[in-house]
Amino acid sequence: MTGGPLSGLTVVEIASLAPAPFGCMILADLGADVIRVERAGDGGSGLMAPSGVLDRGRRSIAVNLRTPEGLEAVLTLVETADILVEGFRPGVAERLGIGPDDCLSRNPGLIYGRMTGWGQDGPLAPRAGHDINYIALAGALEPIGRAGERPVPPLNLLGDFGGGGLMLAMGILAALHERSRSGRGQVVDASMVDGAALLTAFVHGMNAAGLWQEGRGRNVLDGAAAFYDTYECADGLHVAVGCVEPHFYGELLDVLGLSGEDLPLQYDLDAAPELKKRLAEVFATRPRDDWAAVFADSDACVSPVLSPWEAHEHPHNKERETFIEVGGIRQPAPAPRFSRTPAPVPRPAPRPGQDTDAILAQAGYDPSGIEQLRSAGAVE
């Protein structure tokens, strides 16, 4: 991989699932050389093959960390790496011999990224969990859903990806910046609870200002307002309406032909059901894509609700190439964009162990040394 603002950085990624691979995907997208260490010789316990998207842009080496030779091979890679990322429960990396002390003793400038749900300490640190558990504890799940209904899981976007992998990547880049001054590495403790809690900062601010009522579906941004909601169209598909500002709301009414009607005030949330009913009646008269065309040149803040499988066809996404094809799979393109050092088109996800020999040779192993590792069951 060449090009991109992180070109020249080397990342050793210990294979895991979802959040850490997403963080490493970001680093790879932006030009870092990410070496994914697949765990060979353990029967594949708990780990799945590369997804083809989250694992794009890597090179792959298959190592049995339970052999002395395999452990030494990984620590040899660490010696010349800038970053190591692991996603084990607290204490597991230490037991394997690749904990922070083990790695920083070999490379004092290493940035050691740790991705967990609960964090490295605290009463829940050793417990199992998934995205929904982490965002529940962070206060990020409870506000999401319709009034009088249960909280709705927002896929695994808030915990695994927004509060997890993205925060991990940001923390690693911050530590790299600090290293440029101090010359020293450090441990980045990225917790999905911490990250998901951080994503609720705006809601905390609104609440402190007296502008947020507790309970779902009672606020402007959680579905109570008629001007910030989704509406079903004639074909059963939907549009999203987000005209928060009064002048944008006025344009919505103009386009819908409702300007002259006796309607509730925009911000009267008590009367919002009446206004929603009237807007719903109008939107139900035409198919979604007809409405998209009507509002295409408007500032009324109305957009078609697209599935992930059709978003690439929207003219805006087409022109900006927001989606690309890698290895025959359509997927989001790297983001954000850079003027001088644009991110390269990612390589497809590698097969586990696809680059074992080349990576070991780069680390200083000669052909006979590589063969000895293979004979010892240390690599595949």
Catalytic residues: 130, 160
Cβ partners under 8 Å of residue 252, min gap 6? 227, 241, 243, 300, 301, 302
* CA–CA dist 348, 36 (Å, integer): 13
Per DSSP (E only), the strands in the chain are 10-14, 33-39, 58-63, 83-86, 111-116, 186-191, 228-232, 238-242, 302-304, 323-326, 329-332
Measured in degrees and rounded to the nearest 5, phi and psi for residue 108 equal -65, -15
Asked if 71 and 376 touch (Cβ cutoff 8 Å), the reply is no
Asked if 75 and 358 touch (Cβ cutoff 8 Å), the reply is no
* CA–CA dist 167, 173 (Å, integer): 10
Buried b (16+ CB within 10 A) or exposed e, 31-56: bbbbbbbbbbbeeeeeeeebeebbbb
* CA–CA dist 28, 3 (Å, integer): 10
* Owner of token pair 């070991």: 360
Three-class SS state of 174: helix
* CA–CA dist 123, 265 (Å, integer): 49
* CA–CA dist 347, 204 (Å, integer): 41
Q: Tokens standing for 4?
A: 């991109």
Q: Tokens standing for 231?
A: 């509406």
Q: Can you give 208-247 as a three-state secondary structure string?
A: HCCCCCCCCCCCCCCCCCCCEEEEECCCCCEEEEECCCHH
* CA–CA dist 227, 248 (Å, integer): 10
